[in-house]
A and B are shown apart, each in its own frame.
Chain A
Amino acid sequence: MPFEPLLTRNIAKPASETLEVYLASGGYQGLRRVLKEFTPESFLEEVKTSGLRGRGGAGFPTGVKWGFLPKTRDKPRYLCVNADESEPGTFKDRLLIEKDPHLVLEGIILSAYAIECHTAFFYIRGEFHAGARLFQRAIDEAYARGFLGGNILGSGFDLDLIVYRGAGAYICGEETALLESLEGKRGLPRIKPPFPAVVGLYGCPTIINNVETLANVTLIAERGAAWFAGIGRPRNTGPKLFCVSGHVKRPGVYEEALGVPLPQLLERAGGMLHPDRPLKAVVPGGSSMKILPAANCDVVMDFDSLAAAGSSLGSAGVIVMDSGTCIVWALLNLARFYAHESCGQCTPCREGTGWFVKILERLESGRGMASDPALLVDVAGRVEGNTICPFGEAIAWPVQSYVKAFRGEFEEHVTRRGCPLMAVAAR
């Protein structure tokens, strides 16, 4: 039975981004219900009960994170929406922003209510020109109808929402870099602790949540925590957007319950692109996560199952590679990405990413040394755990896992003095 779309229920409708279409599909009923029937505390409990875990990459329980806010009220609280979506292979937030912005907006208002925040920011990556325009229009519509601004729907709750555009820097998706950027600075991640819930934007308590996470809050408000918790698997609840890219016939965003089997997801994406090239490997959670060789792809797609399988759900960017793909070439492509995007604050990250590029370039061009595969793993070990932000792991994990799963292929690059698959990969 196909999964009944929840997050993507509106996207195929004409003018799906408008308030009219959203209202006609029952939009903002969840907000009305919550403002009437729940206190901020009881709605926060509701989100906890739903089991919702963050969709931005780390899978941290949303209600628990909100609960970390200090009880004191001597400073304003802020909510920052993470719409930076820059993890290679990830394009789900963009779909929601462009096709159903009010679903996200309703979730923002609900979440701000739960955490008692009155100013929220929508940090959207600078390259999403259309997204920023469409979201601003949704905000304007919401102000005009009393869903934003003072005394929302007569409840006494006030909220202002401001769009903030990034300007091209992957690292600004990391939550503390995002805060720096929002303060008008370079996006250099901060040392934690203190955590943003205590010391965040302008030194005030701040919650940062992903776009898809907040869209799920709308669903919880509409149909309740118990219903939400019934979707998916224990500890891995709710619907999920999966972004399938690479060597499949129909790359795209597919909504499924958490825990959908990976083979089923690939089937929905049309199966392999070339009939004569079978599956070689899948990166299940965006480019920062560990690779699964084809033999390990019989997994279900949720936080705990993928962790058990030695990878991670991450941002649910499912990158599919077929037998024509050179793994050294693929890793070199990513190493260049990380070398370019490192903010440069930590020596292991700044230097390590440069080393990876250098070693992989010489392997791919036939100048590699027999010690290079081991050297890659060694350098990765020195990066992992020794940096200010998890960007260090975001490159160390791919390096470690690609070499581990495809060691023979790295060695072959040395013994054959070059890439046996180069010609195919370039296609």
Chain B
Amino acid sequence: MTLPVGAGTDRRIDEILTRFPRRGSALLPALHAIQEEKGFISEEAMVYVAGKVGVSPSFVEGVVSFYTMFQRRPVGRHHIQLCRTLPCALRGCGRILEHFERRLGIREGGKTPDGKFSLVTVECLGTCDTAPMVQINDREYGPLDEAKVDAILASLE
């Protein structure tokens, strides 16, 4: 049987399983490990991780759907997460969203046909001092204006 994850991730999850007083706690770190490798969490991966941790696949599905960071489908190579919450809104994140949409030719929630970019809005990222701000994959950028957005997009491979 082939694993839905690479051998490295499988070994990593085995190590994670030894880390906690109770096995169940390994679920979130295991899901993070899978998503780091695959970019999202497939049905097969959920069944696999359920077996590893010792819970049911439907339990895993409940957990995956509860947390917004876990993706059920592949996102763009550059996943653009624009903060929409009040402190960023006071500094004009609405305008920045429109600019992203225009530049990428997609709407909020969409993905470019080449799979390079996906665009979503997210809630406060705890970085309101650089509002309006965006997190692209695991990096933050801000404060943003239109010119900065253009420069960031141009810099991403």
Residues of A within 8 A of B (CB): 76, 85-91, 93-94, 119, 125-130, 162, 164-170, 181-187, 202, 243-247, 251-253, 287, 317, 319-321, 325, 330, 333-334, 336-337, 340-341, 426-427
| Most chain A CB within a 10 A radius of its CB, from B19, B31, B89, B95 | B89
Query: Is there a chain A Cβ closer than 8 Å to B87's Cβ?
Result: yes
Among residues of A, the one whose C-beta sits closest to the C-beta of B21 is: A202
- Given A184-B63, A246-B91, A251-B129, A170:B24 Cβ within 8 A: no
Contact indicator A184/B26 (Cβ below 8 Å):
yes
Q: Is the beta-carbon distance between B32 and A126 smaller than 8 angstroms?
A: yes
Rounded to whole angstroms, the CA-CA distance of A333 and B62 in the bound complex is 27
Of A94, A167, A183, which contacts B22 at CB under 8 A? Answer: A183
Question: CB distance B90 to A127 under 8 Å?
Answer: no
A185 touches B126 (CB 8 A): no
Q: A245 to B85, Cβ gap below 8 A?
A: no
Binds A, one of B5-13, B64-72, B147-155: B64-72
The 8 Å CB contact of A337, one of B85, B95, B127, B128, is B85
Known: A91-B127, A427-B95. A321 touches B90 (CB 8 A): yes
Instruction: Let me know if B22 and A245 touch, CB within 8 A.
Output: no
B106 adjacent to chain A (CB < 8 Å):
no
| Smallest CB gap from A127: residue in B | B125
CB neighbours of B27 from chain A (8 A): 184-185
Q: Are B24 and A184 in contact, CB atoms less than 8 angstroms apart? A: yes
The answer to whether B69 and A325 touch across the interface, beta carbons within 8 angstroms, is no
What is the minimal beta-carbon distance from B38 to any residue of chain A, in angstroms? 15
B59, closest chain A residue (CB)? A185
For residue A270, give the distance in angstroms from its CB to the closest CB of chain B.
Answer: 12
Q: How far is the CB of B126 from chain A (nearest CB, A)?
A: 5
With a CB–CB cut-off of 8 A, which chain B residues contact A426?
92, 94-95
CB contacts (< 8 Å) of A170 on chain B: these are 123
Pick 25 A–B contacts, CB within 8 A, sort by A. Answer: A76-B21, A85-B126, A86-B123, A88-B86, A91-B127, A94-B126, A126-B32, A129-B138, A130-B138, A164-B28, A166-B28, A168-B70, A181-B28, A184-B25, A184-B53, A186-B63, A202-B21, A245-B129, A246-B91, A287-B124, A319-B87, A321-B90, A330-B86, A330-B90, A426-B95
* In the assembled complex, B135 has its CB within 8 A of some CB on chain A: yes
Q: Is B75's CB within 8 Å of the partner chain A?
A: no
Say whether A186 contacts B126, CB under 8 Å: no
A81 to chain B, nearest CB (A): 15
With beta carbons under 8 angstroms apart, the residue of B28, B86, B128 that contacts A251 is: B128
**For residues 117 through 138 of chain B, which have their beta carbon under 8 Å from a beta carbon of chain A?**
122-131, 135, 138
Complex Cα–Cα for A187 and B65 (A): 11
Does A86 contact B69, Cβ atoms closer than 8 Å?
no
In the assembled complex, the Cα of A127 lies from the Cα of B130 at a distance in Å of 16
Q: Are A287 and B53 in contact (CB under 8 A)?
A: no
B69-87 interface code vs A (CB 8 A; 1 in, 0 out)? 1100000000000001111
Residues on A with beta carbons closer than 8 Å to the beta carbon of B105: none
Q: Are B86 and A164 in contact, with the CB atoms below 8 A? A: no
CB of A334, distance to nearest CB on chain B (Å): 6
CB pair A166–B67 under 8 Å, yes or no, is yes
A165 proximity list for chain B (CB < 8 A)? 28-29, 32
Chain A residues closer than 8 Å to B26, beta-carbon distance: 184
Contacts of A129 in B (CB 8 A): 138-139
Chain B nearest CB from A83 CB (Å) reads 10
Complexed CA–CA distance, A263 and B73 (Å): 48
Q: How close is A350's CB to chain B, nearest CB, in angstroms? A: 14
CA distance A385 to B89 in the complex (A): 30
Give, as a whole number of angstroms, the nearest-CB distance from A272 to chain B. Answer: 12
Since A167-B32, A337-B124 are in contact, a sample of 11 more A-B pairs with Cβ atoms closer than 8 Å, ordered by chain A residue number, is: A91-B127, A126-B69, A164-B25, A166-B67, A168-B69, A245-B87, A319-B90, A325-B90, A336-B84, A426-B92, A426-B94
